[in-house]
Amino acid sequence: MVRIARVTATALAVLAIAMLAGCGSSDTADDMAAGTNSDITIGVSLLTRTHPFYQDLEAGLQAAADSNGYELLVTAGEFDVAKQKDQLQDFIIQKVNAIVVCPCDSRSIGTAIKAANDAGIPVFTADIACLADNAQVVTHVASDNVEGGRLAAQAIIAAIGGEGKVAIIDHPEVESVIQRVKGFEEAIAMAPGVEVVARLSGHGVKDQAFRTAEDILQAHPELKAIFGINDDSALGALAAVEKAGKSGKVIIVGFDAVPEAREAIKAGKIYADVIQNPYLIGSRTIDAVRSYISGEHLPPSILIPCGLFTQADEQ
């Protein structure tokens, strides 16, 4: 994209068309450039609307949209990429001005994003990126998940004294998790006394993470710690650890710091959580849409820093 200085609405429309060249129809880009804020409709497909993280993210999206006079059409795939593809297709039929998606599957969603590209509708990803080669995304707004993974690993290394076997409850279909695990493994590699002995998927949901953690504990009775890639994974692992009679013997670190996990941290049941700012991710995503409409240059990604939440933060 090129940076656009002050121009007339007509000139801006021409440049917007140029930016979308090769992506199919440019009617939507033209409408975005020439229309008023009240004319802008943004289709949103979240990963889920049941999780507190995405509820906060949606709140950030809505607040920023309201302040700009944009209309949001909010849906959620609920972990079903086929359902999410249908939602994006509906947005294309409705001729929305932009689409925001938190992919249920970072690769499979590519065909739906490509269809939006061909229709001339700009697509933005939030929290979870698209990894499909043939799909074009204006920008991706998310936590710095690599750094978040490093923070989780550093917390575990400190908690187990730099020695012991650890496991990861994974969800490898999702780009944000891939980045978290990457950062985690990078930091663990710096501690020669710590070994990752298992990396199994819990699919990001509590009941499956519970069963995965049970399998890991049975296979590795000497396990010292578990990294859950989100709080559902961490809470599922906690239930398995308690059932196995290993409370206090297996350290658990999660990711998100949702209220239930914070309570577990306060009670000393979970050691720490990587904390994100989903509200800010949502608002920054709408800011990115606004910048695009204004013709501003956007980087490929906009990363929001993470922090570490421990029992000391509840004192």
Model-level pTM? 0.82
Residue showing tokens 């550093």: 154
**Nearest CA among 262, 256, 153, 259 for reference residue 204:** 256
pLDDT for the residue 9: 36
* pLDDT per residue rounded down to tens, the chain (315 residues): 333 333 333 333 333 333 333 333 334 445 454 445 669 999 999 999 998 899 999 999 999 999 999 999 999 999 999 999 999 999 999 999 999 999 999 999 999 999 999 999 999 999 999 999 999 999 999 999 999 999 999 999 999 999 999 999 999 999 999 999 999 999 999 999 999 999 999 999 999 999 999 999 999 999 999 999 999 999 999 999 999 999 999 999 999 999 999 999 999 999 999 999 999 999 999 999 999 999 999 999 999 999 999 998 866
Residue spans of the domains in the chain: they are 9-138+278-303, 145-276
pLDDT for the residue 314: 67
pLDDT for the residue 313: 85
As given in the structure block, the two tokens for residue 266 are: 């306060």
The two domains 9-138+278-303 and 145-276 share their CATH topology (first three levels equal): yes
**Nearest CA among 274, 291, 302, 309 for reference residue 122:** 291
DSSP 17-81: HHHTTTSB--HHHHHHHHS-GGG-EEEEEES-SSSHHHHHHHHHHHHHHHHHT-EEEEEE-TT-H
Q: Could you count the other beta carbons within 10 Å of the beta carbon of residue 249?
A: 11
Q: How far is CA 96 from CA 68, 106, 110, 314, in A?
A: 16, 22, 18, 43
Homologous superfamily, domain 9-138+278-303: Response regulator (3.40.50.2300)
pLDDT for the residue 184: 98
Choose which CATH entry (1.10.290.10, 3.50.50.60, 3.40.50.2300, 1.10.40.50) describes domain 145-276. Answer: 3.40.50.2300
